[in-house]
Each structure stands twice: as structure tokens, then as C-alpha cells.
Amino acid sequence: MPGSVTAGDSMWKVALRMGAADAALGSARWWASVQWGLGTAAAVTAAALRFGGRSAIVDDAGSVDYRTLDRGASSVAAQLRAESTRPDGSLGAVGILCRNHRWFVTALVAAERAGCDTVLLSTALPASNLAEVCERDGIAVIVADEEFAEVVAQSGTKAAVLVADRSGPDALSRVAAEGSPCSPPSRRPKLVLLTSGTTGAPKSAVRTLKTTRVGGAGMLRRVPYRLGDRCFIASPLFHAWGLSQLVVGLATASTLEMRRQFRAAELGQLLCERRYDALVVVPLMLRRILDLPIEPDAVHQPRMVLSSGNVLSGDLAREWMDRFGDRLYNVYGSTETAIGTIADPADLRAAPGTVGRPPDGVTLTILDDDGMPALNGSAGWVHLASTAQFLGYTDGSDGDRAGTLMATGDIGRLDADGRLHISGRANDMIVTGGENVFPSGVEEVLGRHPSVEIAAVVGVDDPEFGQRVAAFVVPRPRRRVDADQLRAWVGENLPSFMVPRDVHFVDALPMTTTGKVVRHRLAVLGHPDRV
């Protein structure tokens, strides 16, 4: 049944994996929670007290241990509190505009210790959107990588700026090295994440650090995390998925490796040279790694490969597991709902396209167009409920709720074993001649063609059918294919009304940093081959 407890380790086994038998760690966690509450600040302090010399972050610049991270974060917190204090004594928010590295983590922990609300800013944010977010969310200080200095300047924000990744008087490294103490905050701050913004300017979703940690904790029975894991986080940390895995990693005193940019060849080499317990990715990264000329025997297989942030197709899941083993997990959720379902390797073998079942503490319901529970196996609107849900948007608006349930915006169905299958985004659905077409189904078939690297499908206006199916296709290098061949390929696998009438061949698709196609930008790409 939706929302029921699913198979996994008992809570006692989970507690043992998390260090319940370690009395010294228990004392460290208690003391840290007294100081900082429940969040990343307490997790880092507890790890520093118990495992001070253990590497916390490994990035392009090397390694930093938990003791150094803890001290540096407190020093930066004192600076952020001073910089963000308004004349009336209240605290402005801290914006973090950084790629994946130690200073992102330092700034995140420091802002929490300072008592400042934290806004995680997308590295793809244009200056106009940055200006809007700074004004709307009350950002008083921006911690930014040097490469984003021009975007910050162009935004016209009046926020103070600390540069994350260089030396100098305004650099985070200098502040962290000062060793200044920071007293516990008088308030528990909030965390603000930007929505993906694939249809316009992003909205700001408000969470608490406690609910963010609760959302990660819901995975513990379904995913075999252990205390002291070594994890490579390739997914962007400013995104809800990457952040959730950062929070879990710090809570388990793990060593977290990351790089500023995802480069498939570099990560492939690291997987051959180093042993990781976990690999955190978005599906597009799996595709890029599979395209590398790497023999499976050359790879030190992680105990778990965790994918989220976008659709993991059944074909991609099957191909990954056939090559690298049954260690793949598919995690479904959103910025607003947090983690909603998890498909473990057994789920993905039995039903490769599934997003799985809800973890402990999550209720999953499929509602029909009348707001009633859908019949078993029938498609409807996916709704989730949990204590990890967001609190609302900073502009005062809220998500689409039905009581405690929140709509994800996806259409889905439950199979006979209670696994959730997503048909697609409700607002992406194409209605052509009275027939409903979800782009994901056509995209998956196109993606199977040996000459297709990736494809995206949208609906365009049509005077006869209302809409027609249009495909945007990136061919594989040194492969030749024409539109008629692709139409025939789709027609062999899908009903005729799903065959693209327009086929555009393009060099690349517009995407977000997590690999989601920005569909409203497809229309300006090229001229189609049309039938």
C-alpha cells in the first residue's frame, strides 16, 4: 500500500550502521546538538570531536579534515553574522554562489552557526535573476566563487561579497584561518533552495535544516549508508539532491569527495583508481560514464550508485546495471516535497523504469482529476506527504496541496507491487488529435536508436490537430541518420500518433545544471524536417 513501511534494514541495524554503539560519538553528537541544534553545524562539530583528523572534504585543492572544517566554519560564521547584521539588529540572509568544493560546505555550515537564513544560488543564474532573488530573499552577504564576480556585479546587488576560492582580504580562506569563535545563534535559521526554473525565473522554496536532515534520514533503511563512508558527490550541491547527500554525508562523518566541474573522463579515472562507497549523480552523468571506454573489471565498484534530479530511463538503468552491477538506486522527489520514493536495485531489475516505493515517513497517493484516490494501476496526479516538506515560497505562495498531501506536478501510476511509475510532467503533456502523449516515452525510444546521443520532445501548435509532436535530436558523433529513419524507428515501437512530425537535428539541448531539458527554449533551435 502507498506509504507503508517497505523492505529494508531494521531500525536497530540502521542505528548500528550510524554508530549507535560508539559511546564517544554519542556524547559528541549530544554536545554538538546542545550548541547548534539539529543540522549540518552540529554534524560537523560532532565529527570533529570524535574523528577530528578524518578527511571531511576532498576537492580540487586537496583535503581538509573535520577539525579544520569545524574551526574554519566557526570563524566564517562570526564574520557572516557581523556582515549581515542590519541596523535594527536582525540578520540578513547569506547567498552561496559556489561550485562543489570545501568553501561551499564551509559557508553552508557557517551561515547556520551565524543564525542567518541561507539561499543556495544556482551557478547558472543570470544577473537579472540574481538581482531578483537577492531583493526578494533579503540577501545581505554573498559568498561567491571568483568566476561569478561579473554576474554578481552586473546584478547590481548591494550585498557584501566574500570570495570563496582565492586569497586576499575579502577571501573566505583568510576569514577561516583567523580562528575566531562564534557563539550559538539566537534563532534557528531557514534554508532556501531555488526551483529548477525550467519555465522561467526560479522560485525560492523555504525549508529548515532540521527537515532537510529528516528527509535524508528517511533513506537510511532503504539505502545502505554507513558511518565513515567515502562518497563522491558529482551532483551540484546547490541542488536539493546534491544537498541532501551532503547532509547525509556530514551526519555520517563520511569523507566527501567532489570537483568543481563534472568531467566524465576524470570521474571514470577516479573510479578506476580509488574506492568509493557511494557515488551521487544525476542520470546524464551515468550516460556520460557509460560512453567511456572503461572495462567493468577496471572499476572499483561503489557499494551504491545514487541517481536523482531527473528521469532515469529504464534503458539507462538496465544498461548501467548490466555493465557495472546491481548497485543502482533511483531516488524521486522535488525541492518542495523532498525525497518521495526510492527504487533499489531489485526494483530496477524487476521494473527498470520505476522510481520505487516511499521510504519511512512518506505517504504516497495517486489522485484522479476529481481529487479522489485513483483506481489501482490507473494514472493520476502524484501526491506526497511527509514532515520533510517545504514551508512555502518566499513570495508568500505555496505548493498545490490537498490537505497534508502535496502535488509533485507529475502524472504517475502504481504497479501491482506498489512501485511508482512516472508518465511525465503534467504541463509537458502533448494533446494531439485528442490523444495524450508524454514526451518521456518518445524520448526513451529515440534514445535507443544507435545514432542518437539524446533527444527531447515537445508539443507545437498545429492548426489541424491542436498540437503535433516535435523532436529535437542530438546525433552521436560520426553517425548519420535522417528524419524518416527516426520516424520509422518510433513507429515500430509506439502508436502512430506518437511519431514526431517535426524532427530537428541540433548540436546540443538547452539544459539545467542537473541535466533537465529547458523545453521552452527548444523552439528557437533550427528548422525542422516536417511531414
| Residue matched to cell numbers 535594527 | 88
Could you read off the pLDDT tens digit of each residue along the chain, which spans 531 residues? 333 334 466 778 888 888 889 999 999 999 999 999 888 999 999 999 999 999 999 999 999 999 999 999 999 999 999 999 999 999 999 999 999 999 999 999 999 999 999 999 999 888 988 999 999 999 999 999 999 999 999 999 999 999 998 776 678 888 888 888 899 998 889 999 998 654 456 889 998 876 666 666 668 888 999 999 999 999 999 999 999 999 999 999 999 999 999 999 999 999 999 999 999 999 989 999 999 999 999 999 999 999 998 889 999 999 999 999 999 999 999 888 889 999 999 999 999 999 999 998 899 999 988 888 888 788 899 999 988 888 889 988 888 888 889 999 898 999 999 999 998 888 888 988 878 888 988 999 999 999 999 999 999 888 888 889 999 999 998 888 999 999 999 999 888 889 999 999 999 999 888 788 888 888 666 556 666
Note down the domain range covering 493: 429-530
Question: Would you state the pLDDT for residue 262?
Answer: 96
Q: Is residue 356 part of a domain?
A: no
Q: Rounded to the nearest 10 degrees, what angle do helices 40-51 and 240-251 cross at?
A: 30
Residue 138 · residue 92 · CB < 8 Å: yes
Domain boundary among 239, 273, 306: 306
Q: Is residue 311 part of a domain?
A: no
Residue 141 · residue 84 · CB < 8 Å: yes
Grid cell locating 335: 525541492
Name 502's Cβ contacts closer than 8 Å, sequence gap at least 6. 460, 468, 469, 470, 471, 528, 529, 530
The count of domains in the chain is 2
Q: Is residue 413 part of a domain?
A: no
Residue 258 Ramachandran class (φ > 0 left, ψ -120 to 50 alpha, else beta): beta
Question: Which residue type is seen at 486?
Answer: L
Q: Is the pTM of this model over 0.85?
A: yes
Tell me the C-alpha distance between 338 and 456, whole Å.
26
Tell me the C-alpha distance between 365 and 1, whole Å.
9
Query: Residue 471's domain is classified under what CATH number?
Result: 3.30.300.30
Q: Is residue 211 part of a domain?
A: yes
Query: Residue 89's domain is classified under what CATH number?
Result: 3.40.50.12780
Domain boundary among 290, 306, 322: 306
